[in-house]
Chain A
Amino acid sequence: MELAWLGLLFPLLGALLNGLLGRSVLSKRAVSGIGPGAVGLAFGVAVWVWLDLLKRPPEERSVTLKLFDWIAVGGLDAPVSLLIDPLSVVMMLVVTGVGFLIHVYSVGYMGHDPDYPRYFAWLNLFTFSMLLLVMADNFLLLFVGWELVGLCSYLLIGFWFTRPSAAAAAKKAFITTRVGDFGFMVGLLLIFATFGTFSYGPIFEQAPQVLSPGLATAITLLLFAGAVGKSAQIPLHVWLPDAMEGPTPVSALIHAATMVTAGVYLVARAHVLYELAPVSMAVVAAVGVVTAFFAATIALVNPDIKRVLAYSTISQLGYMFLAAGVGAYAAGLFHLTSHAFMKALLFLAAGSVMHALGGEETDMRRMGGLNRHLPTTWKVFLIGALAMSGVPPLVGFFSKELILEEAFVLGHAGFWLLGLITAGLTAFYMLRAHFLTFHGAPRYDAKSVHPHESPPVMLWPLRALAALTVVGGALWLSIVDFAPFERFLEPVFRAEPAMEARPALALGKGALIALSLGAAAAGIGLAWLLYIKGWRPAAGLRRLGRPLYALLDNKYYVDELYYALFVAPGRALAELLSGPVDRGLLDGLVNGVGRLVDRVGGALRRVESGYIRAYLDWVLVGTLIVLVLLYVYAWGWSWGWGGGGR
């Protein structure tokens, strides 16, 4: 347990080795060994820490490890210290486990890239940063990891930096999330001003006595602003679809499985504070479910396979926030884990498709009929799509069902209904993507493109993730109340509310499950009708749907709206300040004063023409006069006739 910091050290060393020596010293083999190897070792550490934790009685499963003093000045003491508890261990296992598979896959996917060592250096740096985020034992250190994963996201979205779209997407991601981080930072200021510390332990202990409802609401909403940015929730979701400019394994690791879930982790970690602020809880749940719905509607029509997955990620993160917002933190964490399996699987499978089509093809309108060429990819993508759709017994069924059920049981019927509709939409867009990609007639240029299945180094991680997707439900078989996952997390979320105080329900558990299955079936069936059977809706219906389609196809014009609301006026203001105000008004005033002086004292004209020595002489003379006066004065003072009163 005391060596848990090794989990941080290995990826950091990997990043340093590949980053500093990868281009010059190390062979490609060495780079391929170090990158995945470092994360594999970190996974080993995570498993070991987990087993160690299991050996302890539940109430002792929280260990703080102080590494060194970081910022210690005045009343501020923010050490670099780690907190090992069930929540951080779950996150460590997900980050390093799924991360390891994605690193292995990258060996094949990125193998031909000339900047291969740089890729692994940054991917390892990301793993380090994400582990720091989840292992930190205080809010400031969490923020350090939070910003560092943002940096790695920036670097990896812009990995192919010579593409203007990638460079722009990287910048957009960093700046958009920083808008949320502004809220986070102000939240940190409030936390410190209130508690005088950043450490979780004392804060959560004192919170019920110290926090007024208003203060609790303010702090939690500000923290949530950071979560909204990082986890791409409305209104800061705009960066994530563009982030698909990065290499596909990066999308799988950072923009699906791990980094974007940091917001969910933050709310779960700070749940003690959130429970003191019912308003914030409601906001979290509402933002989550609304985002889930809106992102799903955009995914319905998008033609780009990676962007469909990106909007799907935004939508699923919304489910996780819904869970956290209604107080079902463990269910949120379970969906986080389940989503990490499913979405990493789907992204990597999409990468395999792109690889098969010769690189960077993501437009599903130029795919189709790939099932014959890519049998394994086809199979695993189908597993992922069905799991996302909520088909039992795949993991996605259990985790999503759990959230909907909790929302309903805890009295949020409206949220539940929106979530249920979203589940239907999810099933539709996932199967639509699957059918467009793998079924029907080929629409790629068969003359120049010869699809081929990916090499084993890419297929084995896919198989592993597919296996996790199939059996992962066993972690929490919600329908039969077999819940090792929940029980493991129990020491953290001890105060889970209202489980005993269940109101009389309008619908029984069986009915809820039936409705969920019905929604999934409807979505899948409609996709099948449209994309396999080739059913075309009546012309009148299509005409009616056209404006709606345009709205969805343009993502509700949010990018355009933000440009008009923030970017354009901001730039205009900056131009106004830079030109008329700064160079015109302020500088003009100064030069005006100069000119006035110049006109009054003609002698100074020479200064303007550059005879600075003459001017220096005057300065010297002036200074001397002052000194002489002083001298006389002081001399006089010492004789008693000075004016300097004591």
Chain B
Amino acid sequence: MWLTAIVFLPAVGALLIALLPRENVGLTRAVALLASLATLGLGVGLFFAFDPGQPGMQLIEEAPWIPALGVSYKLGVDGISLLLVLLTVVIVPLLLVAPWGRVEDASYKPFAALVLLLETAVLGVFLALDLVLFYVFWEAMLIPMYFLIGLWGGERRAYAAIKFFLYTMAASVLMLVAIVVLYVAAGLGTFDLMQLQGVQLGRSVEFWLFLAFVAAFAVKVPVWPLHSWLPDAYAEAPFAGTVLLSALMSKAGLYGLIRFGWTLFPNAAYELAPWLLGLALVGLLYGALVATVQRDLKRMVAYSSLSHLGLVALGIFAFGPLSLAGSVLQMVNHGIYIAALFLSLAVLWERFARRNVDEFGGVMRFMPRFAALFLVFMLASVALPGTNGFVGEVLILLGTFLTPHKAYAVVAALIAVLSAIYMLWMTQRVFHNPPNPELEPRARDLSIKEVALLVPLALLILGIGIYPKPLLARVEPSVEALIAQAQSRLERVHDPQAQGAVVEEATP
């Protein structure tokens, strides 16, 4: 019941909120916060209930759903999903109480309900072990996000929301078709992921199914060049929506690649790995370069996110034990620091109602406390040692270098230079330089409440940076089990001779 409780508790909260009178904002806030905090509590409990020594799925819950079709309600958790569940339950409460963004009291009720519904959907995606169940959660993420952008977004919100919706929907439909074809082709009469993982498919079937799955996941991340919804959606969404998109929903795509892409279609994945690695690498460089010339802070951080997600995708596509563990950890890390960065932009917006980098200057003079916290977030994003970003980045680079895809790791190491260019440029223009007198009247440093919201993120960044062991110890067995599972189905014999290598370049 543990997993079911964690998945549906936010939805129950949303339901309760729907029943509350719209006028009683205080009560609505209390219920929303309570629901999200209770979910956080369950998440922490899950962390301790989880047995780190056991590599496979744990705490499995299963019940028949549509027995005639072999659709079941099946949830389970392993080290990989555990980390993403923890990320989700940590981020959502912050968004519900953050006093920033465009959400007025009058519309808080639908806002809170949508955020909580989205939390249920995201948690469901991370925990579902049945393909239909997964697909239902997957699509369920879309609807609250559509409304979050459409109702509370910026000037071009309608355009951004529809573009986001259609783009991701189109790709997801491909996955739905692929799920059906897989069901038919496997012929087991079940949608159970763990049973389907054992099925040997025909070469071309596997190839096309893999592509369909990858399309859905890659759009959600997004992987270059399927990202063109991202700048609009990130920039137009309210800050809470941007955080949900960047910190959580992008992870759903990456998670899908790991959980379904590689385990269901390992042969296709290995064969296409060089191409996918290429896309990830292009995205990494491209996002970083484009970020350097953005004037709009939100777009700048959006493109930086594209670049950093490219690095995570690289570690996944390389599929070495270290790189995959690094990618899973970096998914959490990225979720934390990208949320912190967007929330910092929200702080600036809330005070100054501006987002253009040219319109700032000397904010550190007005808001020293905020500047100090921002420094931590910024450093995590440039992967400075001592922050969580470094641990993830170094693991991904090392892990990728240990596979036969060495060259990708070398080029990807440029991210350290590129991210420093745009982040330091932005820091200089916003926080340093002569104080802009226009800002002074509206400048006030962080309130206690705001500090209380941002400090936990800073502590997580430093905590994971200095002592990542508790997380890595839980990821490692699951990652190794997953790789072993995928390898067991490889048709071509891959030579694991090279130290740590699991992948060998396809030889004709």
Contact = CB atoms under 8 A, between A and B. Distances in A.
Nearest to B379: A151
Interface string B474-496: 01100010000000000000000
B228 A168 contact: no
Contacts of A582: 228, 231, 286, 290
Nearest to B165: A612
Contact of A71 (B184, B384, B472): B472
Contact of A644 (B185, B397, B466): B185
B416 A634 contact: no
Given A175-B421, A193-B402, A612-B146, A164 B413 contact: no
**Chain A interface residue bracket vs B:** 35 or more
Contacts of B399: 74
Nearest to A19: B372
Nearest to A177: B420
B197 interface: no
B398 interface: yes
| Prevailing SS type, chain A contact patch | helix
B433 A72 contact: no
A644 B290 contact: no
B410 A189 contact: yes
B158 interface: yes
Contact of A74 (B166, B322, B435): B322
A184 to B, nearest CB: 10
Interface stretch (B29-37, B97-105, B423-431): B423-431
A488 interface: no
B500 A634 contact: no
B325 interface: yes
A634 B385 contact: no
A366 interface: no
B322 A571 contact: no
B362 interface: yes
B431 to A, nearest CB: 7
A207 interface: no
A182 B413 contact: yes
A590 B228 contact: yes
A441 B410 CA distance: 58
A607 interface: yes
A73 to B, nearest CB: 4
A406 interface: no
A421 interface: no
B420 A630 contact: no
Interface in A105-159: 140, 143-144, 147-148, 151, 154, 158
A76 interface: yes
A294 interface: no
Nearest to A144: B385
B280 to A, nearest CB: 16
Interface stretch (A370-378, A515-523, A547-555, A572-580): A572-580
B443 interface: no
Interface string B439-454: 0000000000000000
Q: Which of A182, A185, A589, A615 has the most CB of B within 10 A?
A: A185
B160 to A, nearest CB: 12
Contacts of A209: none
A189 B428 contact: no
Select the residue from B167, B180, B394, B472 with max chain A CB neighbours within 10 A: B394
A69 interface: yes
A587 B228 contact: yes
A95 B414 CA distance: 31
B351 interface: no
A186 B428 contact: no
A586 interface: yes
A227 B500 CA distance: 29
A636 to B, nearest CB: 11
A644 B420 contact: no
B289 A192 contact: no
Interface in A604-646: 607-608, 610, 612, 615-616, 619, 623, 626-627, 630-631, 633-635, 637-638, 642-646
20 contacts: A75-B322, A162-B365, A170-B424, A170-B428, A185-B416, A189-B401, A189-B409, A192-B401, A570-B289, A574-B290, A577-B286, A590-B163, A608-B162, A610-B162, A626-B180, A627-B69, A630-B180, A631-B68, A634-B69, A644-B183
Closest 5 CB pairs of A and B: A644-B187, A167-B432, A144-B385, A161-B432, A587-B228
Interface of A: 19, 23, 68-76, 140, 143-144, 147-148, 151, 154, 158, 161-164, 166-168, 170-171, 174-175, 178-179, 181-182, 185-186, 188-190, 192-193, 196, 570-571, 573-575, 577-578, 582, 586-587, 589-591, 594, 607-608, 610, 612, 615-616, 619, 623, 626-627, 630-631, 633-635, 637-638, 642-646
Interface of B: 66, 68-70, 139, 143, 146, 150, 158, 161-163, 165-167, 169, 176, 180, 183-187, 189, 225, 227-229, 231, 286, 289-290, 292-294, 321-322, 325, 362, 364-365, 368, 372, 379, 384-386, 390-391, 394-395, 397-399, 401-402, 406, 409-410, 413-414, 416-417, 420-421, 424-425, 427-428, 431-435, 466-469, 472-473, 475-476, 480, 499-500
